[in-house]
Amino acid sequence: MARGRRPGGPDTRKAVLDAARRRFAEVGYARASLRSIAAEASVDPSLVVHYFGSKEGLFRAVIEWPFDPAVFLDQLAAAGLDGLGRRLAAGFLGMWESADTGPRLQAVFRAAVTDAAVAALIREFLTAMVVERLVPVIGRERAEQRIELALGMLLGLAVVRHILRVEPLAGLPVDELVDQVAPAVQQQLDGALPAD
Amino acid sequence: MARGRRPGGPDTRKAVLDAARRRFAEVGYARASLRSIAAEASVDPSLVVHYFGSKEGLFRAVIEWPFDPAVFLDQLAAAGLDGLGRRLAAGFLGMWESADTGPRLQAVFRAAVTDAAVAALIREFLTAMVVERLVPVIGRERAEQRIELALGMLLGLAVVRHILRVEPLAGLPVDELVDQVAPAVQQQLDGALPAD
């Protein structure tokens, strides 16, 4: 081990998280390299990979993001555009519904809404991943905008249901909610756009 | 003027706002009477009406809500169900777009998202008004749920656009956004419900 570098251990993991938090805040998600974070924490980059898998994994640990969006998006994309609106609605609203991921998504959302820097980081982290994985599946004009409209609508429903807790929407079984909104979500993904 | 009661003036206005803030927090919007707020502020109820018009107006002043939702909802309702999705989308997203009302809506939203008591007050304040004014216009089964779905979707789009600021949605002209989402909003308001 190089001179001045920390060995592994709980303190090291925390030092890496602290360094990552600082680097992400300073230069944004894309420009904060795993190598520069390791250097700032005085550890070998391989140790960062050992703890967090990748820069994506490190970022998720920093913001306590509760699931791997790459896995979620790959599963959605694998089954193609047909029925994607329903799968997206069921998957997204299901994450907010879950006793495991729901409260953590709420915490991330609150942080993003009240701190523009956190919002910018999450935006940068998610949009690249979403664009890479879902745009090819859409295969229509303005695919990015379509995905944002679909996800924006679903986000609003999750907020009304789980954060603002407005009845009767908050008490509606999630399956009924998915049935109710899936056509609108699908329409954003593959419907005709208004004439220019 | 009764003994111990304050005369009018800027201090009185502030005393009424402070008393209202406490009463709303203690017993909720519906149960905090204008009379009890006046008593807590040691002023005559007529003075509260003079300053704020009504309990609704007082509540809007307390939370710095930027427009009169009753006027907004009455205008929407007056033209009936036909085209309501588009008018709701244009009106709601227009409020978030405006340099006057937009930043204040963002502030109210941030407060509601981070403070469950504020969320409860706003929920109580708005749902009664929305139910009273829009449910008769809908005239379909599950009208409340329909309105919440429509408004929830629009809220999510406003959040993605103005708070999370995700491109390309954030930069899309608002007219194009309204064109794009109006059919989905209308569908929630008057479309068929999934079979039970």
Q: What is the mean pLDDT of residues B82-94?
A: 96
Q: Do A161 and B172 touch (CB under 8 A)?
A: no
Q: What is the mean pLDDT of residues B166-176?
A: 96
pLDDT for res B30: 84
* Domain ranges in chain A with CATH number 1.10.357.10: 69-190
Chain A environment of B63 (Cβ under 8 Å)? none
CA A82 to chain centre: 23
Q: Do A119 and B159 touch (CB under 8 A)?
A: no
> Of A142, A148, A161, which is closest to B160 when you measure between CB atoms?
A148
Q: How many other CB atoms are found less than 10 A from the CB of residue B57?
A: 17
Q: What is the mean pLDDT of residues A14-34?
A: 90
Confidence at A64, pLDDT banded by 50, 70, 90: confident
Closest chain A C-alpha to B140 CA, distance in angstroms? 15
Chain A's closest residue to B195, CA to CA, is: A179
Chain A environment of B115 (Cβ under 8 Å)? none
Question: Does the pLDDT value for residue B19 go beyond 70?
Answer: yes
Determine whether domain B69-190 maps to CATH 1.10.357.10. Answer: yes
The length of chain B is 196
Confidence at B7, pLDDT banded by 50, 70, 90: low
Determine whether domain B10-63 maps to CATH 3.40.50.300. Answer: no
The percent of residues above 70 in pLDDT, for chain B, comes to 95
User: Residue for token digits 């009455």?
Assistant: B74
pLDDT for res B125: 87
* Domain ranges in chain B with CATH number 1.10.10.60: 10-63
Tell me, yes or no, if A112 comes closer than 8 A to chain B by beta carbon: yes
Please tell me whether residue A67 adopts helix, strand or coil conformation. Answer: coil
pLDDT in tens, B21-40: 999 888 888 889 999 999 99
List Cβ neighbours of A138 (8 Å cut-off, separation of 6 or more).
A81, A146, A147, A189, A190
Confidence at B185, pLDDT banded by 50, 70, 90: very high
Q: What is the DSSP letter of A83?
A: T
List Cβ neighbours of A121 (8 Å cut-off, separation of 6 or more).
A24, A25, A28, A29, A59, A63
pLDDT for res A187: 94
Chain A environment of B194 (Cβ under 8 Å)? 176, 179-180
Question: Does the pLDDT value for residue B2 go beyond 60?
Answer: no
